[in-house]
Amino acid sequence: MVFGPAGVRILVGVVEDVDADSLKVAVEYLLNKLGDPAAVALGSCPGECKVSLAVAFSPKVVQCGLQANEFLGGIACICGGGGGGTRNFAQAGGKRPEKLVEALDKAQMDLRTALSSCN
């Protein structure tokens, strides 16, 4: 976990061999534990040629103009996939597990950049 701009707690990481449902539970649990303001982005490769991604934002992060569903779209495309969700939570799948670390690195950078303009 790192503290990003505006004191937002940012947690981005890989969880080994976790299916999409478990990844959702993990993201929601971690967001709850981190409190508000926080952003959590996790990825996993639950099987050969599969990627699962999940993102959750606390209310203050959403107030800064970030929306999980839009944010995740730009990350999921790196892994050859797409997804959807709401302003606070989104999930995606992909078919390029070799790109997972690259996608999560982009998530970390994009979060820091987007939150830098938030007070």
Strand-pairing partners, residue 89, are 56
What value does the mean pLDDT of the chain take?
A: 92
**41 pLDDT above the threshold of 90:** yes
Best CA proximity match to 41, nearest among 97, 81, 6, 2: 2
Percent of the chain with pLDDT over 90: 80
Query: Which two structure tokens, joined as six digits, stand for 1?
Result: 């976990």
Determine the pLDDT at residue 36. 92
According to the model, what pLDDT value does residue 54 have?
Answer: 97
Q: Where are the beta strands (DSSP E) in the chain?
A: 2-3, 9-14, 38-47, 50-57, 82-85, 89-94
Q: What pLDDT is stored for residue 111 in this prediction?
A: 93
**What pLDDT score does 4 carry?**
64
The stretch 17-29 carries a mean pLDDT of 94
| Per-residue pLDDT reduced to its tens digit, 66-89 | 999 999 998 999 999 988 999 999
